[in-house]
Amino acid sequence: MARTLNQEAPSTLQREQLDESAVRKLALGAAGDLSPINAFIGGVAAQEVMKACSGKFTPLKQWLYFDALECLPEENEELALTEETCAPRGCRYDGQIAVFGSAFQEKLAGLKYFMVGAGAIGCELLKNFAMIGLAAGEGGNITVTDMDSIEKSNLNRQFLFRQGDVTKLKSETAALAIRKMNPSLHISAHQNRVGPETEHIYGHEFFSGLDGVVTALDNVEARMYVDRCCVRYQKPLLDSGTQGTKGHTQVIVPFLTESYGQDQGGTQNAFPMCTLKNFPHSILHTLQWARDEFEGLFKQTSEHVNQYLQDPQFVERTLKQGGAETLDILQGVYDSLGTRRPRDWADCVSWARCHWESCYRNNIQQLLHCFPSDKVTSSGLPFWSGPKRCPHPLIFNPNNTTHMDYIVASANLYAQTYGIKGTRDLGEIARTLQTVSVPDFTPQSSMRIHTTDEEMQDDKQGVDNSKLEELEVKLASPQSFGMSSMNPLEFEKSKQIAGKIIPAIATTTAAVVGLVCLELYKVIQGHKKMSSYRSSYINLAVPSCNLWEPTPARTHKVRYTARIQRALFIQLPLLKAYS
């Protein structure tokens, strides 16, 4: 029929060479109806409607062409997809069976997948999973985990939640909504953070039973941890993210593509610690210092306190690690529960004021005491030259907006970690500041400030064991502190709240999740060719959609061996010999 139509067409429309393979695929899939394709096209189309209504962003010119032919079987397509295998079964998945066949649908129904996060992307993923029938058969299961509760601000983009769900747990509410959408779906809801502290839950046994992992996270640190787990247990990973009208997807296939962590190119911890701590000289240094400061004050210490309060073996396990970091961890726990623990809001303001004094006056005075502004090096050159800029101690001024903004933000964050109600009333905070007593500070000549990371590392080798023994005694009984938990704060979440950044919009989320689920089709079928997979970046505002083949997994030859190569995902078992 296609040949006849081509011959009868006007000469200007005739094709010299007809792509019969493409025509055949189009004809065979004409009865198909794939939710991921609908999600992607729907997200793009909805954004175009918003452009027409609002006059914002650049509209799509003329037409859009999109296909995903690489989702079809890589080999023996004619044998795998026959009229019989693709015939309707009288079920809700007939549109998908028409494209991939009944055997694929049965395999899809029996899979076990782990989804981390149940926010905007998570809700859209679960909706698509319900529509395609993932884990909707015997033996199948989706495990979804998310610690957060539903907030009113979530409702405009997380469509599984309703007004009456506000304050409920995201994972449980999403699981209930999905079961209503597809009663056959098997789904388990958890409220755990995926990290080192939950490896007893999400460990070898858990990951070994999975067919794959999907992330719906909003920070790089969590993505990196999940990626390491997938590398360790050799599981495929589908990652995605959005920011406004922009979105990305990445597929990680064991032994075939590079991992998420490899793709980051080592940008984490790129700055020497001594530079960040004592000699920052660029805006990037100050930004990284601020992030490290935030996580040290409001996240890591709180997490250590919670582990101490909940795990009887925490102190013993930490002491076994040894090194200066052990002393820092245990001292931080003791200070947070004892000497530094606030009783009320006034104590939080006092802490913020004293911390400001320590960071922006005392530490700078100590630095200038060790390295005066006129100091010269052993070669006779000024110490404060080149990238090293001589700092100047600040004097706190309650009439300075920047100074007060710091007090307001840090006091409220500190109060939040302890569950104390704060305020942003500048008048009230100013009155509280008048009652704060700031300790006097005198620089110490015995204090040593490191100028290189090597000096800092050498200094960490020596640990005062008497202090460790003292802390072990003080931390012998968690119950003596009369506290059940603290509230660790996430930097990315706090930054979004402070900057009023819109983390996702529904159109971008729908389009991105559609692309993710197309990659899921390929992973489930076990595609082996790199050319079958696609990573992507979209910007619906422009609009732009870029898809490319993932970067291959890096390999290199094992020493003294010409034929064996070692890739990231390969595990080398250690065998114990018995005499």
Compare 195 and 106 and report the one with higher pLDDT: 106
pLDDT of 578 strictly over 60: no
The one-letter amino acid at 455: E
Residue 457 phi/psi, 5° resolution? -65, -40
Pairing of strands 544-548, 555-557: unpaired
Please report the beta strands in 197-265, taking only residues with DSSP state E, as ranges in sequence order: 212-215, 237-243, 246-252
Q: What is the mean pLDDT of residues 181-202?
A: 93
Between the alpha carbon of residue 437 and those of residues 346, 349, 361, 432, the distances in Å are 12, 11, 15, 11
Of all residues in the chain, what percent carry a pLDDT higher than 70?
A: 85
Angle between helices 324-337 and 314-321 (to 10 degrees): 150
Residues with a known catalytic role: 274
Compare 46 and 499 and report the one with higher pLDDT: 46
For residue 171, the model assigns a pLDDT of 95
Q: What is the mean pLDDT of residues 423-446?
A: 92
For residue 273, the model assigns a pLDDT of 52
* Counts for the chain of helices (H) and strands (E), in that order: 24, 10
Nearest to 302 by CA among 347, 340, 359, 343: 340
For residue 292, the model assigns a pLDDT of 81
C-alpha to C-alpha distance for 512 and 43, rounded to whole angstroms: 8
pLDDT of 266 strictly over 50: no
For residue 567, the model assigns a pLDDT of 57
- The answer to whether the 31-267+502-548 and 279-499 domains have the same CATH topology is no
Which of 69-78, 154-163, 225-234, 458-467 is least confident? 458-467
What does the block give as tokens for 426? 């500048």
For residue 405, the model assigns a pLDDT of 93
For residue 500, the model assigns a pLDDT of 42
For residue 222, the model assigns a pLDDT of 87
> Considering the chain, what is the average pLDDT of its residues?
85
- pLDDT bucket at 499, cuts 50 / 70 / 90: very low
Kind and range of the H or E element at 228? helix 220-233
- DSSP category for residue 348: H
What does the block give as tokens for 508? 């971008």
pTM of the complete model: 0.63
Domain boundaries of the chain, sorted by first residue: 31-267+502-548, 279-499
Please report the beta strands in 157-272, taking only residues with DSSP state E, as ranges in sequence order: 187-190, 212-215, 237-243, 246-252
Nearest to 108 by CA among 96, 118, 98: 96
Peptide bond connecting 59 to the previous residue in cis, omega within 30 degrees of 0:
no
Which of 293-307, 449-463, 509-523 is least confident? 449-463
Which of 133-147, 264-278, 307-321, 510-524 is least confident? 264-278
Q: What is the mean pLDDT of residues 266-270?
A: 46
What does the block give as tokens for 293? 């400061």
Between the alpha carbon of residue 474 and those of residues 226, 312, 471, the distances in Å are 35, 14, 5
The one-letter amino acid at 321: Q
Q: What is the mean pLDDT of residues 262-266?
A: 55
Q: What is the mean pLDDT of residues 548-558?
A: 80
447-457 per-position pLDDT tens digit: 777 666 566 56
Nearest to 228 by CA among 571, 569, 572: 569
* Strand partners of residue 546: 537
Which of 206-210, 310-314, 562-566 is least confident? 562-566
Domain 31-267+502-548 has CATH 3.40.50.720: yes
pLDDT of 248 strictly over 90: yes
Residue spans of alpha helices (H) in 322-436? 324-337, 345-357, 363-370, 401-417, 426-433
C-alpha to C-alpha distance for 294 and 299, rounded to whole angstroms: 7
For residue 556, the model assigns a pLDDT of 63
pLDDT of 244 strictly over 90: no
For residue 501, the model assigns a pLDDT of 43
Compare 186 and 502 and report the one with higher pLDDT: 186
- pLDDT bucket at 482, cuts 50 / 70 / 90: confident
Nearest to 303 by CA among 492, 490, 487, 147: 487
Q: Are 533 and 550 in contact (CB under 8 A)?
A: yes
Kind and range of the H or E element at 555? strand 555-557
Q: 279-499 belongs to which CATH class?
A: mainly alpha
Residue 436 phi/psi, 5° resolution? -80, 130
Q: Are 455 and 461 in contact (CB under 8 A)?
A: no
Nearest to 517 by CA among 42, 62, 150, 180: 42
What does the block give as tokens for 333? 């726990």
- pLDDT bucket at 20, cuts 50 / 70 / 90: confident
C-alpha to C-alpha distance for 272 and 285, rounded to whole angstroms: 9
